[in-house]
A and B are shown apart, each in its own frame.
Chain A
Amino acid sequence: MTETAERPLRALAERAMRHSWFPVARSIDVQPGPVPAVLLGTKLAVFRDGDGVARVVENRCPHRGGSLGHGRVTGGSIACPYHGWRFDGATGACDYVPSLADQSMIPPRAGITTLPAVERYGHVWTVLEEPIRDLYENPHWQGLDLEWLAADPLDSSTGVGVAIENFRDVAHFPFVHEVSMGPTPEVVAPLEVQRDGFDVFMARELDAGSGDWAEQGDCTMYYHCSAPGFATITYDYAQLGRRVVAGFPSPVAYDRLVIFWGVANEVGFRGDSLEANLAIETEVYLEDLPIADKLEPREIPWDREFQEHSVPSDVFTLNYRRSFREFMDAVAQRFPEA
């Protein structure tokens, strides 16, 4: 408690994220599931009901505390693995207690909390409290028909902000990605960054290096990130069309993540297959994790509890931090603390 009392912005950052959308499962893992998930300490179960609709519910069975995420799906309901109690995915009401001869005897208030569930970008997203913002959209994708492939989620002992900053940082390429990208220049050409509310944009020409990552040739890379937890790169190849890599770190706790992420190709993309692009991006990401996992502190030092110095190559990061602050301020204003 003292930690958050002395660090008001850290506390606000965590509180604000409860009002924003995060993925809690890959779509392909809820066919129909269920799978357990944790978002900012809240245990959840994710599944797909008999009509194909994704559902996110509280994980704890209110009978004797069974983990619904380890149960099974029955039509529109999720059944507890312990005594088989079933709960309706839409309303949360208990609709079947196997041990009862007379189902009209179900305790009337037995039920679980249901959360909003939206399927987008190959993942199931939810939000813990009333959302301050809509689920992320990328203006670069307007009118673009994207086919998604969700990557294997990665565990990381950092916070959302640090993961987003790593995802779109460019100055670390020659040090962390020498294998996947080949030698890249150390000097970072001026970054042209544009920020609008929670969104930050940057366009950069990719001069193909010699690594696997660049073997599809030169392109324009459109970076977009949106506070708190959305980072994407849209690669626009003059000859091949557009492809995407996107990261959606999801906070299990304030400074511990499951990094959900994926790739997408424009329908008709003439470059590599989704699987090949995912393999390349995985090679890149696996180079980042051992570095990111050892960063100190593990999340952005909002309360200046650590000193950091910045140079012009950090302009995207610094703009993202401002957009995150704007997001925090919006939550503080609209949902004042009780």
Chain B
Amino acid sequence: MVADRSTLLDVRIQAMRVEADGVLSVEFRRPDGSDLPEWAPGAHVTVHLPSGRTRQYSLNSRPDDRSHYRVGVLKVPGGQGGSAEMHELRVGASVQISPPLNAFPLADDAEALLIAGGIGITPILAMTRALRDRGTPFRLVYAGREESSMAFLDEVRSLAPEAVVVTEREHGRPDLEALLAAHPGVPVYACGPGGMLDALTAIGDRLGADVRLERFAPEVAVAAPGDLLAPPEFSVRLARAGRVVGVHGGESILTAVRAAGIDVDSSCEMGVCGTCETRVLAGRIDHRDLLLSPAERERGDTMMVCVSRSLDGDLDLDL
């Protein structure tokens, strides 16, 4: 997502807590303590990390207490570094977050079945609290590898004493098919590992169940239509072409450079393939691709012009 920087919220890390092996909860608060925007269970925010990486996290605090947001962060081994970077932040650190977005809304159902796998508990926890407060009958199944790796277990048990906690070590995997079959006509809200969600989708199709999922999406940048009449966000100086091209808020460097009549090879145009890699002669890069390693990002001499942008000021490119 191309960030419209003006809409980002400046927040400070108010508290961090170890919730389970590899899982931290992180609380964000505005520096002046004023209320954060409204949100509803299922919502997430995009955290903009100091390195320029962005990561999305579901909110799991109380929507009626807008003094802070809380998210749960699993450190992903072998990950791209976003979760590791979150884990290295300290209380007091300033970051920017997007306003909450909700791609996983909780409807006003008569009854609900909630299924969480691992760190997928984060949106489900907020839903659990909401259903309990509404007095809606629900059933919660929370599956994980072992209790020590399962975040927010105490909160889950106090909110929903009848919640079923399934650990792979003791019980193996939950029988999702039996679970859905036992709740015909009840909408299912699920968040967890891709494999679990794939299985639920297949079972839901088979049984005709209404399965609503939240997947942890890849960090893929997509250009939004921008206002080309506004002044450019920054400019790129093209050393070989001897041109200066303005790049507007909603367009990529690639689009802007092509519109100026200079062709650059590209293929995926989402920061994956590396075809549009361009040497950077000067300027600070806001890397948003999925390919460069941390060391390459730090060197700051190359960028994927389909998604990456300027961190501040103009860029000099070898084009």
Contacts and interface: CB of A to CB of B under 8 A. Distances in A.
Interface of A: 185, 187, 189-197, 201-203, 205-207, 218, 222, 238-239, 307-312, 314-315, 318-319, 321-322
B173 to A, nearest CB: 7
A314 B273 CA distance: 8
A207 B193 contact: yes
Given A314-B272, A315-B290, A315-B291, 7 more contacts: A190-B216, A192-B76, A218-B168, A218-B173, A222-B78, A309-B267, A319-B291
Residue with the highest number of chain A CB atoms closer than 10 Å, among B78, B267, B273: B78
A238 B168 contact: yes
B308 to A, nearest CB: 15
Interface residues of B, number: 34
A139 to B, nearest CB: 10
Contacts of A207: 193-196, 198-199
Contacts of B146: 238
17 contacts: A185-B194, A185-B198, A187-B198, A194-B79, A207-B196, A218-B168, A238-B146, A238-B169, A307-B267, A310-B268, A310-B275, A312-B218, A312-B270, A312-B272, A315-B290, A319-B293, A322-B293
B169 A309 contact: no
Nearest to B277: A322
Contacts of B268: 309-311
Contacts of A319: 291, 293
B267 A205 contact: no
Contacts of A205: 193-195
B183 interface: no
A300 to B, nearest CB: 13
B218 A196 contact: no
B81 interface: yes
A194 B78 contact: yes
Contacts of A310: 267-268, 272-275
Interface in B207-256: 215-220
A100 to B, nearest CB: 60
Contact of B145 (A189, A238, A307, A308): A238
Contacts of B275: 310
A194 B195 contact: no
Contact of B272 (A196, A218, A222, A318): A318
B177 to A, nearest CB: 13
Contact of B273 (A191, A238, A309): A309
Contacts of A311: 268, 272
Contacts of B173: 218
B80 interface: yes
Given A205-B195, A207-B196, A322-B274, A196 B293 contact: yes
Contacts of B216: 190
Contacts of B81: 194
A192 B79 contact: yes
B218 A318 contact: no
Nearest to B167: A238
B77 interface: yes
A202 to B, nearest CB: 6
B259 interface: no
Nearest to A140: B78
B287 to A, nearest CB: 14
A80 B81 CA distance: 56
Contacts of B270: 312
A200 to B, nearest CB: 9
B178 interface: no
Contacts of B107: none
B55 to A, nearest CB: 11
